Each structure stands twice: as structure tokens, then as C-alpha cells.
Amino acid sequence: MIRGSLCASCGAAWYPEVIRCALCGSFEVAPSPMSGEGIVRSFTWVHSNARHPSPWGLAHIETAEGVFLVGLTEGHLDIGDRAAVLRFEDDLPVYTRQVDA
């Protein structure tokens, strides 16, 4: 689970937390838990970085709340896969493929 903001005026969700809604300008925003689950919209392998073993996955996820997040991945993800936050590394969410039960 991740924590973002929800605007009471227009219903827009934001991550990370904000003090003012960028959509409607309202200051009526409050902290809100978010599922961290969503759909993979883009995925790539990165082959060079001193902080993570190479190669490592990077994905662009559209969450169930409508927020777009960029995160690391645990294994390969395909565009259209359902994904969920597994943990955080260096303040980035780490996503894994979500398997239907």
C-alpha cells in the first residue's frame, strides 16, 4: 500500500502527497491510502546503473486510482499486465506481476 492525496473538490488522486490539487486548484486535499495495484503501460530493461544489479526492469504503471507511477520491477512485465507494489527501494516502488487467485 502507498500513501498519496485525494482531492475532496474534484476527486483527483495524487502521488506523492500534495497540499493543493493540480487539477482544480483546491486546497481541500487529504492524505489517502492507495492500493499500489495497476496496469503496466510501459516497460523496459535498464542495463547500466551503480545502485542496482544490471539488468533491471523499469515500468510505468497506471494505478487503480488513476495515478501514473514509475517503479522498478521484480522480473519481466508485459504491457497490459496487472501489477502490484511488492516493496520500496530508494523511495521507488518495486512492482511484480499480479497473479489471479
Q: What is the 3-state secondary structure (H, E, C) of the chain?
A: CEEEEEECCCCCEECCCCCCCCCCCCCCEEEEEECCCEEEEEEEEECCCCCCCCCEEEEEEEECCCCEEEEEECCCCCCCCEEEEEEEECCEEEEEECCCC
Kindly tell me if the per-residue pLDDT of 72 is higher than 80: yes
Kindly tell me if the per-residue pLDDT of 93 is higher than 80: yes
- Measured CA to CA, the distance from residue 4 to residue 20 in angstroms comes to 12
Q: How confident is the model at residue 101 (pLDDT cuts 50, 70, 90)?
A: low
Kindly tell me if the per-residue pLDDT of 32 is higher than 70: yes
pTM for this entry: 0.80
Domain 36-97 CATH assignment equals 2.40.50.840: yes
Percent of the chain with pLDDT over 70: 94
Kindly tell me if the per-residue pLDDT of 48 is higher than 80: no
Q: How confident is the model at residue 1 (pLDDT cuts 50, 70, 90)?
A: confident
The larger pLDDT score, comparing residue 34 to residue 1, is at 34
- pLDDT value for 46: 85
